[in-house]
Amino acid sequence: MHNDIESILLSREQLHEKVLQLAAEITEDYRGKDLLAVCILKGSIIFFSDLIRAIELPLETDFVAISSYGHSTSSSGVVRILKDLDQNIQDRHVLVVEDIIDSGLTLKYLLENLSSRKPKSLHVCTLLDKPERRTVEIETAYNGFSIPDRFVVGYGLDYAEKYRNLPYIGVLKPEIYQD
């Protein structure tokens, strides 16, 4: 375990099992459909990579980068699209893959933006959900783990661009991110 980690919340094995479970559900639900999997950068990249490799269907991928955090531990409330999709999603089955849903504000903004582009379907797969932090309603089709309101890093999630490469999801020690 990394010195800055207070405890391991989800092990590498737990993450692997959940990815396989979610991929099996997605495979079944999208069989025979033209699936476009959209990764929300940067936090979702490791989860996204493992997930799409486990989905047993032909699919296409695209990437979007949005920001409302910067180097802070809470959302600024101002959402910016840093990188938009390269593909037209009209009449496509779009699956947005997210690392964690906290307040839901950033994801709500993105879903409204994507919905205006008239996809055939638009669904969300999230690895982590913090329901007690939710300030807006977000419907997820695929939900990995509901977690307590702790500041977590690893498996793509970061604090100030660090810790993404940890193979587990851990709780960051408060003294690392508190002033």
Burial status of residue 99 (CB atoms within 10 A of its CB: 0-12, 13-18, 19 or more): buried
Give the per-residue pLDDT at 67: 81
Helices (H), the chain: 12-29, 45-54, 105-115, 174-177
Backbone angles phi, psi at 2, to 5 degrees: -70, 145
- pLDDT, residue 102, reads 92
- Residues 62, 67, 71, CA angle at the centre, nearest 5°? 130
Tokens of 117: 């582009």
Distance from C-alpha of 38 to C-alpha of 83, rounded to nearest angstrom: 12
Q: Tell me if the domain spanning 12-148 has CATH number 3.40.50.2020.
A: yes
Return per-residue pLDDT of the chain as tens, 179 residues.
Answer: 689 999 999 999 999 999 999 999 999 999 999 999 999 999 999 999 999 999 999 999 999 999 875 555 555 567 889 999 999 999 999 999 999 999 999 999 999 999 999 999 999 999 999 999 899 999 999 999 999 999 999 999 999 999 999 999 999 999 998 86
In the prediction, which pLDDT does 77 show? Answer: 62
149 given a catalytic annotation: no
Q: One of 102, 129, 149, 158 is an active-site residue; which one?
A: 102
